[in-house]
Amino acid sequence: MRVMERTFREQLCFLLLSVSVLRGGCRSLENNEISNEFYSLFNPEPRRDSPDAFMYRRALRCMDMVAVEGQFTFTAETPHLSCATFLMAEPSELISVEVDRVDIDCSGGDFITVFDGWVMKGEKFPSSQDHPLPLYERYVDYCDGAPARRTVRASQNVAMVFFRVHSAGSSFTLTVRKHVNLFPCNAISQSPEGSYTMVIPQQRRNCSFSILYPVAIDISEFSLGRHGSFPKRKMPGCAESEDFVQLLGGNGIDTSKLLPITDLCVSFTGPTHMKIACDNTVVRMVSSGSFVSRVSFSYRALDSQELQTIKLNNVEDFCFNN
Ligand SMILES: *[C@@H]1O[C@H](CO)[C@@H](O)[C@H](O)[C@H]1NC(C)=O
């Protein structure tokens, strides 16, 4: 179990290292020997300056992370049976990916599958509970052949491409684009610090904002409005409320498997400040659809001294205990 957890943590760090804004450290990696290749695998990538002048292009690796728009071409020199590309944009963006110039052997067992979200260690983000589509619709397989489905627009700022190719010389190109998302629901933070306001505009749905670092988090506001104003009637407490905010923590990415740290109801007067030494901290807002729900928070990664302090008083934090 310990080994699995460490591996999961390393995998998260591995992914997040590639996002050039990373400033905090990944605690579990500090004392491990990591080859230079591990770090140099993902150099910061240049941003595209003008939208149509040219596209950034580079080769795609079997395990890769893409956080910029551009064209990414995979060319196999040997069989690659288990490859994955993690795609990521800003929380206020949607990511789309087009698969083209494909030279693979679908009938020989090769595949390219785009997933609407991320999958790690069998866990999914967004969780099946919070995603607008049923699970089977979140997988789009290139080899199914419907050309209209060669461009997949994800429902949030993260998506993923799995692929397998058996013969040398097989190749394909991914074109990754970012789009403005007017009402972002689920998102993974690209950065270990920032601030965010999540709004659910009178819809019956639940949204999660996930931060894949141990963090100090401040929730400054949680409000319910209708047509921009506060509800007149007195709201019940959390227990009966259909509208509330949960702070969740744990070591996987599936928000439905995380443990609740605290619930905030409409009686919340804020601000609340917490330090959470989990690999994944999530702010999840549950909305009945009766109100315009809004939650605002800011966060930053915990430093190693803060983590040490929490570890020493580990009653405070269950992520070190489980
Ligand atoms: C939102 O989450 C709540 C509690 O976790 C659940 O009872 C409700 O069914 C969910 N709503 C939707 C639309 O998924």
**Cα 180 versus chain centre, distance:** 17
pLDDT tens digits along 94-153: 999 999 999 999 999 999 999 999 999 899 999 998 998 999 999 999 998 766 568 999
Q: Which residues line ligand 1 (CB under 6 A)?
A: 129, 204-206, 286
* Res 169 pLDDT > 70: yes
The pLDDT value recorded for residue 159 is 98
* Res 192 pLDDT > 60: yes
Centre of ligand 1 to C-alpha 206, Å, is 6
Identify the CA nearest to 85 among candidates 53, 106, 55, 58: 58
Domains of the chain: 45-180 (2.60.120.290), 189-320 (2.60.120.290)
Centre of ligand 1 to C-alpha 289, Å, is 11
Tokens of 240: 């009966």
Centre of ligand 1 to C-alpha 263, Å, is 14
Query: pLDDT-based confidence at 309, cuts 50/70/90?
Result: confident
pLDDT tens digits along 204-252: 999 999 999 999 999 998 988 865 455 444 555 566 788 999 999 999 9
Probe residue for ligand 1, chosen from 128, 129, 255 as the CB with the greatest number of ligand atoms within 8 Å: 129
What pTM, to 2 d.p., does this model score? 0.81
Centre of ligand 1 to C-alpha 222, Å, is 18
pLDDT tens digits along 59-101: 999 999 999 999 999 999 999 999 999 999 999 999 999 999 9
Question: Among residues of the chain, what percentage have pLDDT more than 90?
Answer: 61
